[in-house]
Amino acid sequence: MAISSTVIRFIQNELNERGHAAGDVDGRLGADSEGALRRALRPRRAELPDDWEAWPRTKLLTGYVQLRCRDEGVNPGTIDGLWGSQTDYAVNVIRERLQNDLVAPNFRDNEELDPSRPHPWPHQRQSEVEAFFGAVGKHQTMLELPYRHRLAWDRNVELTRFSCHEKVHDSLSRILTRVLDHYGPERIVELRLDLFGGCLNVRKKKGGSTYSMHAWGVAVDYDPGNNRFEWDWRQAGFARPEYDAWWAAWEDEGWTSLGRARNYDWMHIQAPHL
């Protein structure tokens, strides 16, 4: 599996942003890139195999990519400087996360989505989100929850409501009411559908200049402990069949699960589409 010039440009840009002077962002691994990679890797030699200084440029680049993926919580496999499918997948996940320009491989074909599914929401492009929802952190309202939630990171804290954008309020209320009707209170706790991981959070994407969908209060995270950012459908709890009705409730309202659409970040559900 070859390393694409897109990935090389992504890393050259990263190296430049971190002050390692990689020179032109041209997608070619030249002497400037090599020097930058060596400068970036040297302080991290303890995380690398002993022979790393003898590596050719492609291995240096791969080793750096693997470390950066691990920094971002996306498992790149062994840090060995060898480009394989796991490293390739991981770097695409972090590119999507850091740059918001390209996406990880499709998990689910669009054809699988019900064509009659309503799409009342804008595209997740910042300009469209802003045009539809306004400025980040504004137009918030309290959603009274049909069933009690608990904070995922401190389950002793119970929530009866949370803040969301006023334009998604009614939709969220309908979704959670349907979830309650379908599963009932006990099954909701068993399936951890009450573990709230956050909605409104005005922040930019890590390392990027664009805002997270959470900045408008139009994305919700559930059960992050069982649906970690880097996990795919084989690990993520929400990928299991007992959650089919959960997803139907969201998708019938036009919401998008990153897990179901892109096979990562299964905790995350957003109104704007991809």
Opening angle at CA 59, ends 233 and 69, nearest 5: 35
CB hemisphere CA count around 220 (13 angstroms): 25
- Shortest Cβ distance from residue 152 to Zn ion (Å)? 12
CA distance 151 to 157: 6
Q: Which is nearer to Zn ion, 42 or 206 (CB)?
A: 206
Chain position whose Cβ is nearest to Zn ion: 268
- What are the DSSP E strand ranges found in 137-253? 140-151, 154-165, 195-198, 219-222
Q: Which is nearer to Zn ion, 149 or 268 (CB)?
A: 268
Specify whether the backbone of 159 is left (phi greater than 0), alpha (psi in -120 to 50) or beta. Answer: beta
**Interface pattern 163-182 for Zn ion (x via CB under 5 A):** --------------------
| Token code pair at residue 265 | 């970040």
- Shortest Cβ distance from residue 269 to Zn ion (Å)? 8
Question: Under rule CB under 5 A, how many of the chain's residues touch Zn ion?
Answer: 3
Q: Which is nearer to Zn ion, 192 or 268 (CB)?
A: 268
**Interface pattern 214-233 for Zn ion (x via CB under 5 A):** -----x-x------------
- Shortest Cβ distance from residue 222 to Zn ion (Å)? 9
φ and ψ of 166, to 5 deg: -65, -25
Asked if 268 is part of the footprint of Zn ion (rule: CB under 5 A), the reply reads yes
Edge to edge, the sheet with strand 154-165 lists 154-165, 140-151, 195-198, 219-222, 268-270, 256-257
Q: Which is nearer to Zn ion, 228 or 268 (CB)?
A: 268
Q: Which is nearer to Zn ion, 72 or 221 (CB)?
A: 221
Which residues of this protein are in contact with Zn ion, per CB under 5 A? 219, 221, 268
